[in-house]
Structures are given as C-alpha cells and as structure tokens.
Amino acid sequence: MSSALLNPALSPCAAPSAVPADRWRLSVAPMMDWTDRHCRYFHRLLTRHALLYTEMVTTGALVHGDVPRHLQFNTEEHPVALQLGGSEPADLAHCARLGAQWGYDEINLNCGCPSERVQRGAFGACLMAEPRLVADCVKAMVDVVDVPVTVKHRIGIDTTESYGFVRDFVGTVAEAGCSTFIVHARNAWLKGLSPKENREVPPLRYALVHQLKREFPHLVIAVNGGITTTAQVTDQLQHLDGVMLGREAYHNPWWLSEWDTAFYQADGNGMTREGVEDQMVAYMEREAAEHGTPWYSIARHMLGLRHGQPGSRKWRQLWSDHRLKGLPAREVLALSRSLTATAA
C-alpha cells in the first residue's frame, strides 16, 4: 500500500462512481480524538469494505483554519466519509465542496452530538429541533457536490420521545435531497448529562429506527448505539440497511477482520495480528520520514489489537510506554515480538 496523502493539487478527484448498494452496511463511527487518518489506516488493514468516518470537522476549522491539516488522508482509506459540524448553509456548502475536492466519498452532517461545546456553536443534536434549517443545510451541500450527503442524528432530544418527532425530522430533511440517515437509537439530553453519559443513560430504542425504515423504505437507514457483537449486527441487518459501530470497534479492532467475510461475502484477507503490527510499523516509519509524525501518536490506535489474547496487557503497556518514545518503532516491534513469544 502507498501511504501517499490525497492532495487536490496533485491528485485531482476522479468523477464519482456509482455508490454500491452495500456502502452503509458496516461503518466505523466518527469519534473525536480517535478516528484520525492514522486510526482509519489501521482499520482499513482489517476490513477492505466497511465505510470509515473522520472525526467531526467544524465548518469554522475549514473556513478559517488549516484545510490540509483537517482534510488530508491516506488514499488507502477509501471508502471514507467526511463528517462536518455546522449550521450555516453557505459555510457547509463551502466545506462540502472542499471535502469532495479532496476526494471524500461522502459528506455527513452531524446532528447527533450533545456536547455543550457543540451546542454553543448551535449545531449537533440541537439541530434536530430545527428540521427546516437542517433541510436548508443539506440542500446547500447537495447542490454543490456529486457525492452522497448524509445525516447522523438521534431519535429525539431531551424528554421528546415520540416517534413523530424523529419521523418528521427525517421526512423534512429527506425532501431536501438526503437519502441516507444514520440514527443513534438514543435520545440526546442537551442538559444534565456528559457526552459519555449521553452514550449510556438514555435508553436504546431500536424499534423506532426499525419503524423509520418501514415508513421510509426508499431511504437508507442505518443504526448506531450499543451494538457490540456480530450476532447483534446480524439481527439489526434483518431490519435495516446498515449498522455503525463505535467504541467496540475501536477497543476491540480485531473484530473488524471478521466483517468482510461475515457481512460482504468476501474472502478473508488472511491477515494475522502480527502481520497487522508489521504493516503498522512500516506505516509509522513512512509517516516519520515524510511528515515527522512520532510513532507513538499512531500506535495509540492499535492498543486493542491483542484484546483478549495471552499477554495482551503487557503488549499494550509496551506500545504505550513513555520511556520507549525515544526508540525507533522497529526496535519497539522487536521488543513486542519477544514479549508475544514469551506469552505464547
């Protein structure tokens, strides 16, 4: 695999190809501080087919900040979607156009994050209270890009638990040109709960997401929230078009290596944990040479690779040991191999 970063000045976007029917079958959720390009490179080694999402990037960061820093990615990451946070249609249109120019396969609008910081910016989950504004945002993006524009949202906000609330939200936004909705099957409580508590305290109500699919059979409806096993994924796919996995995929990444065979009828890639570790070290060396990236900022994403295996705790401690940061990554790999041989 080449580690070349996509750069529109060097690699103009090809004309968009038809979107595969199973594009949203399995995806790894956008997770702040976690799903950066190094994490996505790692995940792509494990699954060739699942859709990968960026961390949320705010429109302000792209309008006023360093665009390459926020949008560069490894070409191996495809299919990869850019998630945007914002509520101003013109700014979102500008940022969606940038995302398409940089080669992203999808532009996703965040209407699900409940954090106070996001609320202060008047976007995220609080946008569910303004479906017409969301529709205007979606239309502004749809009008300027040829890739899918999608929305990730909750089933409700605060104490609003009626199905009609989320049904009307989806119906209004769909009329603006959005045909794919990723639904976190919990309410977002805008006051009184931390983002972590918002992922755990509001009850999961998958039945409402299933009802959305029955009422809007022409739309792609994927579910997110609380799904941690292959059996649960299989069950959800009996009702819906896709499943988005978050923290379980991050903390237990070897699970991803099962997805292509289980959900895409594809041959397994024959990868081993040792083989993935080897490829990640090669990637660390290229990143260090080309961009000055320290290996430990990449290694943090693969600490769950040996989850549940003998010696996994010591292996994880090795790759996160601050005393080893001065060593080349390949020397840490040699220590790792000695450790895993002893554990075996």
Lowest average pLDDT, out of 113-117, 273-277, 325-329, goes to: 113-117
Q: What is the CATH number of the domain that holds 95?
A: 3.20.20.70
Domain match, 69 and 46 both: yes
For residue 15, name the pLDDT band (cuts at 50, 70, 90).
Answer: very low
Q: What's the CA gap between 217 and 146, in Å, rounded?
A: 23
Domain match, 164 and 291 both: no
Q: What is the pLDDT of residues 86-120, one digit of tens each?
A: 999 999 999 999 999 999 999 999 999 887 666 66
Domain match, 191 and 43 both: yes
Residue 266: the pLDDT is 85
Q: What's the CA gap between 293 and 247, in Å, rounded?
A: 25
Domain match, 195 and 308 both: no
Residue 119: the pLDDT is 60
Is residue 30 a part of any domain in this protein? yes
- Domain housing 146: 26-264
Is residue 218 a part of any domain in this protein? yes
Distance of CA 212 to the CA centre of its chain: 22
- Catalytic residue, chosen from 39, 111, 113, 126, is 113
How many folded domains does the chain comprise? 2
Q: What is the CATH number of the domain that holds 319?
A: 1.20.120.1460
Q: Over range 55-66, report the average pLDDT.
A: 96
CA dist 46 → 41, 250, 302 (Å):
9, 12, 11
Domain match, 142 and 279 both: no
Q: What is the pLDDT of residues 289-318, one digit of tens each?
A: 999 999 999 999 999 999 999 999 999 999
For residue 191, name the pLDDT band (cuts at 50, 70, 90).
Answer: confident
End-to-end CA distance of the chain: 30
Which residue, 264, 285, 303, sits at the end of a domain?
264
* 111 assigned to active site: no
Query: How would DSSP label each residue in 268-298?
Result: -----HHHHHHHHHHHHHHHHHHH---HHHH
